[in-house]
Structure 1
Amino acid sequence: MASKNTVSGTLVDDKGTWTVRGRVTNPITGKVRNKSKSTGYKVKDNTKRKALQVMAEILAEWEKEANETLPDHDLTLRYYVEAWLRDKETTTRPNTVKSYRDYANLHILPALGDVSVRDITWRTLQRLYEGLLKTHKVVTVRKYDIVVSGALEDAVRDDVIPVNPAALVKWPKRTQPEARPFDPREVGQILAIAENAPEPMHSAIILGLCYGLRRSEVCGLRWLDIDFEQGTMHIRHTVTQNGKVLLDDDHTKTQKSNRTLALIPDTVSYFKQLRARHVQYGLPLDKVVAWPDGHNFRPDGITRMFKTLLKNNGLDPAIRFHDLRHMAASVLASSGEATPKQIQEFMGHDDISITYGVYVQSAKDSGKKTSAAMSKALAGLMETPAACSEICSELRFG
């Protein structure tokens, strides 16, 4: 049986009115809440007996309210995780809830699901997370903690536990990943190999290097997001992964990530040819970056194919696809024509310090002044006379 909150009170003269001052005590946590309510009777009218009767009713009402939703103090973490997930279903995107549920079922509930929340300490969680950190990145384990912390916070609200032990966990010091030093020769080399890369890698590289798109944004870009008449590209749809499951959603990483970019003139012809080829092949005009049979390109597929492409062309396989985004920002910064604010908006960063602290690297010995237009900047970095328009002119389905 669950222990019950206890209620006590006294009748006091509060500015001439009989008033009940009470205390609701949680026997598990020892937490005390003070309450106060007027009886409505005036002291001067000699009404103390009537006020005492009303006080008994008030105390009974407080006791009922305090205990009608009081959960059993031996409820497990499983109970609170499942309740937290149900609450999230009404306030959070379905794909996000599915991710939370997967985190819960994969490691959290198997390890701690049947443990009473009263028995979970910060050391309990520390051991769990340290075990996960042996095979997972910190950012991933933090996602598991979102579920655990949210569930335990509900237990705090229920007065079942006094504090949330998840708040006391010691995490490894977070360090910003170092961006690869900007080398203009690599930019030209990657653009050159993009010319001969089959689809969908060809279009993925153009979007990553010329437009600075993230993997999720590359895979999520749709033809309806490109307006050739207005000369714009709207970044508002992403494809992410939760294990082998693709999450196709109308949202970006952050609010600032939802942005509209001007089409780079030297890439327009390429994208028009790509769209025409999709129509010719009878593909649904959905994703811009897609396999020749119309299937979606997966973010993990980008990583694998890009690494293979680099290796086959004699480039450093340590270059990540995300480094193309770094290069795009660095190209603009080194051109001297784009303001810091413009580069921040181009990259879709909430904080300009991210743009310049992580992504933008100074151009080593380039000494070149290019125009603010990415097409001209990229053309100036090519090792061969070929312009970006020539590189992007042919569509190849390998």
Structure 2
Amino acid sequence: MAAARSEGRQRGTIETRGDNLRVSVYAGLDPVTGKRVYLRDTIRGSDSAAMKRAKSKLNEFLVKVDKQRNAPSNVKLGPTIDKWLKMAELDDGTREMYRGYVERNIRPVLGDTPIAKVSTLSLESLYTELRRCRGQCDGKPFVEHRTEEEHDCAEVPKKTKKRCRPHQCRPLAESSVRQVHSIISGALTAAVRWDWIDSNPARLAQRPKQKAPEPDPPSPAEAARLVDAAFELDEDWGILVWLVMTTGIRRGEVCALKWSRVDLDEGTVDIRRSYTLRAGVGREKDTKTHQMRRIALDTETTVLLTEYKERCRQRFAGMGGELSKDMYVFTGLRDPDPTKPYSPHALSSRYKEMADRLGIDTHIHALRHYSATELLTAGVDLRTVAGRLGHGGGGATTLRVYAAWVAGADRKAAEILGARLPKRAPKPDKSM
């Protein structure tokens, strides 16, 4: 290799490498890995014109590094994220989930880094480390102690959750790394709005690709077995499973459904609210896409709900009460109080236990997939299916999630169209 020739300031160099020039500037230590970081670029050629371009690139790198070191804002990433979380329009569940990611995965590594010094490289390094080990260990064996008190690891009972164990690297899921990226990007975007930094480095950072959805609905035969088993267990439970299966509404939406939103004369239900339960505290909130939708009911579902409503009326009358529009349609099995909705967790658990007894590996949300795929397979247009499911984007989400079934419906449409065209008679063979 030709002898290196250095030009420029002490912090940066221009080296001759063969027939080209390489510009290199020291940019500090990576806050994630602790390794030295350099800004580098190769300039084609080694003549005076190439040297002029190399000096220009060297100055550009030096200005960039100086700007990071002498940034007007010394606010650190941790407090920036904290401020953004307080001000961002997020529901309580999402905010709590984000705080968990911040405390576990972001603050220990980049929390004390000034936001002006958070670079695209440091973010990509963080994502890489999280995909290697969610605990971001240094790769050396160590014991994970479950208590900070002095103890003898061998004396801790084996069945206790605080038992000390050798550390095993577990990668953070790709979807979770994307959540980490969303949090950092959201906070840094806010910092740009607040004039704390000039640009958001997270916009250029590469994060794990989003996996294509893989809906796994029960087959029609399995769906029939599930709904039959539900009615055998309890008529009220059967109605709930039937309604979810025929409308595709979400778990929280069926729990929040009140009689005021059920119009049995018109055969419709209005979906406006969802019910969540976190840390034993339940509350109503907007639907996932923050939009109201009206879903038409088929004749059989309308009849079943009418009969169910009459049973509820007689049941409450026997208890000295009266059925009102403000009461929830479905109430808990152990606590049939019409002023309290069915617990989303209890709903999922009961459905899963029922499916397991039948030997069917499924969950309550798969009924939503069943409703969507059956409609698409039957040839119902994408926009109508999206409206019933409450998907935003005019069907873009529905197309992304159920692409395989949309393709099947498109094939069916092509066959129908071809069948409607007049058949063409074969041309006679002129060679005969």
TM-score (normalised: structure 2): 0.56
The equivalent of 1:14 in structure 2 is: none
Q: Deviations over 1:88-109 (max 9, x none)?
A: 2xx5556655554455455443
Report the AA paired with residue 258 of structure 1: M
Counterpart among 294, 306, 327 of residue 269 in structure 1: 306
Residues 135 and 322 from structure 1, CA distance in 2 versus in 1: closer, same or farther, beyond 3 angstroms?
Answer: farther
Q: In the alignment, is the contact (CA less than 8 A) between 2:174 and 2:209 conserved in 1?
A: no
Aligned-pair CA distance for 1:195:
0.7
Q: In the alignment, is the contact (CA less than 8 A) between 2:231 and 2:237 conserved in 1?
A: no
TM-score (normalised: structure 1): 0.60
Query: Are positions 1:343 and 2:379 aligned together?
Result: no
Q: In the alignment, is the contact (CA less than 8 A) between 1:29 and 1:162 conserved in 2?
A: no
Secondary structure, counterpart of 1:230 in structure 2: coil
Take 1:219 and 1:137, find their aligned partners in 2: how far apart are those partners?
30
**May I ask how many residue pairs the two structures share in their alignment?**
294
Aligned residue runs from structure 1 range 151-166, under 5 A: 151-157=187-193, 160-166=196-202
Q: In the alignment, is the contact (CA less than 8 A) between 2:293 and 2:390 conserved in 1?
A: yes
Aligned-pair CA distance for 1:219:
2.2
Q: In the alignment, is the contact (CA less than 8 A) between 2:332 and 2:343 conserved in 1?
A: no
Residues 304 and 84 from structure 1, CA distance in 2 versus in 1: closer, same or farther, beyond 3 angstroms?
Answer: same
Secondary structure, counterpart of 1:218 in structure 2: helix
Secondary structure, counterpart of 2:113 in structure 1: coil
Q: Deviations over 1:159-186 (max 9, x none)?
A: 6555433334432222322223663212
Take 2:66 and 2:259, find their aligned partners in 1: how far apart are those partners?
57
The equivalent of 2:84 in structure 1 is: 84
Identity %: 27
Take 1:29 and 1:198, find their aligned partners in 2: how far apart are those partners?
71
Q: In the alignment, is the contact (CA less than 8 A) between 1:29 and 1:160 conserved in 2?
A: no
Task: List gaps (5 residues or longer) in structure 1.
Answer: 1-25, 32-69, 365-398
Aligned residue runs from structure 1 range 242-321, under 5 A: 246-249=282-285, 251-254=286-289, 258-267=292-301, 268-273=305-310, 275-276=312-313, 279-280=316-317, 285-292=326-333, 293=335, 294=337, 295-314=340-359, 316-317=360-361, 319-321=362-364
Residues 148 and 357 from structure 1, CA distance in 2 versus in 1: closer, same or farther, beyond 3 angstroms?
Answer: closer
**RMSD between aligned alpha carbons?**
3.9
Residues 113 and 231 from structure 1, CA distance in 2 versus in 1: closer, same or farther, beyond 3 angstroms?
Answer: same
Aligned residue runs from structure 1 range 348-363, under 5 A: 348-350=390-392, 351-355=394-398, 358-359=401-402, 361=405
Query: Are positions 1:173 and 2:209 aligned together?
Result: yes
Query: Are positions 1:226 and 2:269 aligned together?
Result: no
Report the AA paired with residue 375 of structure 2: L
Q: In the alignment, is the contact (CA less than 8 A) between 1:216 and 1:299 conserved in 2?
A: yes
Secondary structure, counterpart of 1:291 in structure 2: coil
Report the AA paired with residue 79 of structure 2: Y
Query: Are positions 1:325 and 2:368 aligned together?
Result: yes
Aligned-pair CA distance for 1:137:
4.7
Report the AA paired with residue 125 of structure 1: L
The equivalent of 2:74 in structure 1 is: 74
Q: In the alignment, is the contact (CA less than 8 A) between 2:177 and 2:208 conserved in 1?
A: no
The equivalent of 1:125 in structure 2 is: 126
